[in-house]
A and B are shown apart, each in its own frame.
Chain A
Amino acid sequence: MLYSKTVMDHFKNPRNVGIIENADGIGEVGNPLCGDMMTIYLKIEDQKIKEIKFQTFGCGSAIAVSSILTELAIHKTIEAAKKITNKDVAKALEGLPKNKLHCSNLGADALQLAIKDYEAKKSGKTKPEPRRETEAHIPMHKKEGQKQCYCPYCDAKLSKKTTFCKACQSELDQEH
């Protein structure tokens, strides 16, 4: 099986699906080019997330990510919710397939945007623009703190100025 039991459980029985009318905060992320789009709706009371709902267009892991995120965030204070990262979400799901880590694990990003939207509304500022990438997404190929580029598909070292990984025969979207 491609996915862990937790992923399958959240995919088959997603929690907190839907829209909140007059939500206090809305966060939208995604990229229709590579397939996943998520919207998170928040209802805030006493600086706590009283209600959270989501809508997702995407694969099994994208739906599971959104579902478990709502469970992680609900009843948390805003300060605590701000600390939720995509890594936490993947961990709560008992891991995601490597190639899905970047593209479908957008739940925490959507939550952070929704919180920003709430804070902006409260202070009377304009709403932040939804984060929609217009170009096909490019998986991370540079490891943190390193100059060397690595193939996003097989992790092999890449020589400079190549659009082809000789180790795994993958075409790369961008010159390295």
Chain B
Amino acid sequence: MRNLIKRYRSKTQNIMKKINLDHISVNPMPPKVQDAMIKAIKQNYGNPSSLNAGGEQAAEVLENARGQVAKLINCKNNKEVIFTSGGTESANHAIKGIAFANAEKGKHIVTSNIEHSSVIRSIKRLTQLGYKATSVSVDKKGRVNPKDIKKALTDETILVSVMHGNNEIGTIQPIEEIARITKEKKIPFHSDAANTVGVIPIDVQKLGADILSFASNPYYGPTGVGGLYIRRGLNIWPMLDGGIQEKNKRAGTENLIGIIGMGAAAKLAMEKMDKRSEHLKNLKKLLISELPSYIDEYIINGDPENSLQNLISVSVKYIEGESILLMLEDAGYIVSTRSACATGSLRASHVLLSIGLKHEDAQGTIVITPGIENKKEDIIGFLKALKKIVTTLREISPLYK
């Protein structure tokens, strides 16, 4: 009997519910989104490109979802939105598609030092094909100075790519100001908005970027589906050639179930934007204001004025991020880290080094991304666990005296 209880306990402990403070990696889908997708699966829709009744019905729900996503970014013409397999495909498509379409005009690209790897590596790939790139640096808060972008432009420049909200430090870039410059020079402007679309209010008319890449999972939609806003008249090659799906811009039968989920999540995100924002802002404020009563000697990264409300990046001095992460998970809290030790490449984060952090401090960086289901108690519990862990690890550390 005792053994039975022991076995039961170890089983229940294994599945003990952990508090997720890593929503930048994974977001739970709300019931409304789940229901929409389950309903769609059961419908057994036809192929949206088919001319039969089943196909027409599928095309109708596809266009409905497109409308929902277009509305989320205040895009007036639904045709300007195409669906992809996620933020990475969207960024690849935007950068390579524009570069290929404009190769005869020039082969120079301007970007920033703190982009997502899907942007960095797309541009790096193009440099293997003879394209040149200029990457502008950012200030200590992680902000790009639009004047630097202007200086970097040449007659050969065919694309500017600057992200909207950063996934490591949360800094939001002055996209409107950069767009004014690119518009004047008539250079296509791509912004990777994967961390902002559906999270903060976005109006593509005001924002001014010519092409915007985004994904559904940051705003509680399914993974594996994303979108691209392409301003009408923009010169761009498709990445996938084939049929005439997605207004001839992305061939291949659409991921209808995922797209329906993305549409449902977009509708929900619009309705609840203010409520969610306020809740997350309060959690962030609580965490930052309470932090000094739990730990000392840390750095909060990013720009306090222009920042994502759902992301807090903290560099804890004298200790290393992967150790913090493992111990936090043991205590029941999930966060992510930007320590080199936790990445496959064992390299320090380019974003943290770009904002001037020392290697040692970059090593101790954890990224906390609360979500709509988190409560104030989760934040306080997390801080209590963090305090204990920081004390333990600093006792081991030779850097802490």
A residues in contact (CB < 8 Å) with B: 8, 11-12, 14, 17-18, 28, 32-39, 54-60, 62-63, 99-100, 103-104, 136, 139, 153, 169-171
Contact = CB atoms under 8 A, between A and B. Distances in A.
Contacts of A8: 326
A57 B318 CA distance: 7
Residue of B319, B321, B322 with most partner-chain A CB within 10 A: B322
16 contacts: A12-B327, A32-B360, A34-B359, A35-B340, A37-B398, A39-B398, A57-B360, A57-B397, A57-B399, A58-B320, A59-B320, A59-B321, A59-B323, A62-B341, A63-B396, A103-B341
B296 interface: no
Nearest to A18: B395
B342 A59 contact: yes
Contacts of A57: 318-320, 360, 363, 396-399
Nearest to B128: A164
Given A34-B346, A35-B359, A99-B346, A104 B341 contact: yes
A57 B399 CA distance: 7
Nearest to B325: A60
B398 A55 contact: yes
A17 B395 contact: yes
Given A14-B396, A34-B340, A37-B398, 13 more contacts: A8-B326, A11-B323, A33-B348, A35-B348, A36-B320, A37-B399, A55-B396, A56-B396, A57-B318, A59-B342, A99-B346, A103-B346, A153-B344
Given A11-B326, A58-B323, A36 B397 contact: no
Contacts of A100: 341
A55 B346 contact: no
Interface pairs A-B: 9 shortest CB-CB: A59-B341, A55-B398, A59-B322, A57-B397, A39-B398, A35-B363, A33-B359, A60-B326, A32-B360
Residue of B124, B321, B360, B397 with most partner-chain A CB within 10 A: B397
A169 B121 CA distance: 10
Contacts of A170: 345
A36 B360 CA distance: 9
A171 B399 CA distance: 31
Contact of B398 (A56, A59, A103): A56
B348 A63 contact: no
Contacts of B322: 59-60
A32 B359 CA distance: 7
Contacts of B195: none
A59 to B, nearest CB: 4
Contacts of A58: 320, 323, 341
A174 B293 CA distance: 45
B interface, size bucket: 20 to 34
Interface string B347-382: 110000000000110010000000000000000000
Contacts of A55: 396-398
Interface of B: 121, 124, 318-323, 326-327, 330, 339-342, 344-348, 359-360, 363, 395-399
B133 to A, nearest CB: 14
Contacts of B360: 32, 57
Contacts of B342: 59
A169 B395 CA distance: 39
A63 B319 CA distance: 11
B174 to A, nearest CB: 30
Residue of B121, B326, B398 with most partner-chain A CB within 10 A: B398
Contacts of B363: 32, 35, 57
A36 B396 CA distance: 12
Contacts of A104: 341
A172 to B, nearest CB: 11
Contacts of B330: 12
A100 B320 CA distance: 15
A23 B327 CA distance: 30
B340 A63 contact: no
A169 B339 CA distance: 21
